[in-house]
Amino acid sequence: MSDSPEFITVCQLMRTHGVKGHIKAMPLTHDITRHKSLKAVAVKKTNGEILDLEIEESRQAGNLWLLKFKGIDTPEAAKFLVNADVMIPESERLPAPEGEYYIDDLVGFRVKTEDGREVGEVLEVQELMTVDAFHIQFDPDMQQEFSKKSILAPWIDDCVKEVDEQGRFIVCDADYLKSLCPEER
């Protein structure tokens, strides 16, 4: 499974729990019951090594999950998984809730201003400490007005006005975008 290139992380393993090899996990999904359908997973250790493991048992413990992997039966055996990421193929990702979207799906979306002009494209999305942000590359015919260089724009209401998943575009405040552009255009 782990030779497939596109994975998403569904939880991060935290610390061992109990005497039978359980490990606590912080869910990174909108569906807190997602653990019930996890079986074969890829586990990416902090050193980058990826292991194919099978979840033998799972249960919810408040806002956390308790996971038990097949063949890992003691806390000592589970210790090497602490801080690892549990990943599944992107094809198994749950759809986003109605009216919401996954920010990494926005890569390649067109950027429009509120007056309907297409000005650029989203190159990538980054999850920063305080805010999500996206790189915008302006179209050649818009670089004189905005910037030849790509900019990093924050995912905040002052900047992002609308997201249209069907049309694959993001509407941004033009003045806000201009304020992020370097003086040299």
CA distances from 121 to 5, 12, 42, 151 (A): 24, 31, 32, 11
pLDDT band at residue 178 using 50, 70 and 90 as cut-offs:
very high
**Mean pLDDT score across all residues of the chain:** 90
pLDDT for the residue numbered 1 = 53
- DSSP type of residue 169: E
pLDDT for the residue numbered 122 = 96
Between 136 and 126, residue with greater pLDDT: 136
pLDDT for the residue numbered 5 = 58
185 pLDDT above the threshold of 60 = no
98 pLDDT above the threshold of 80 = no
Give tens-digit pLDDT for 16-36: 999 999 999 999 888 888 899
Contacts of 176 (CB under 8 A, 6+ apart): 153, 158, 159
Give tens-digit pLDDT for 32-65: 888 999 999 999 999 999 999 999 999 999 999 9
Report the predicted TM-score, pTM, of the whole model to 2 decimal places.
0.64
pLDDT for the residue numbered 4 = 46
pLDDT band at residue 105 using 50, 70 and 90 as cut-offs:
confident
pLDDT for the residue numbered 3 = 47
Q: What average pLDDT does the segment 157-180 reach?
A: 93
Domains of the chain: residue spans and CATH = 7-92 (2.40.30.60), 103-180 (2.30.30.240)
**Burial of residue 174 (number of CB atoms within 10 Å: 0-12, 13-18, 19+):** middle
Q: From 127, 143, 185, select the one nearest 135 (Cα to Cα).
A: 127
* DSSP letters spanning 27-89: E-SS-TTGGGG--EEEEE-TTS-EEEEEEEEEEEETTEEEEEETT--SHHHHGGGTTPEEEEE
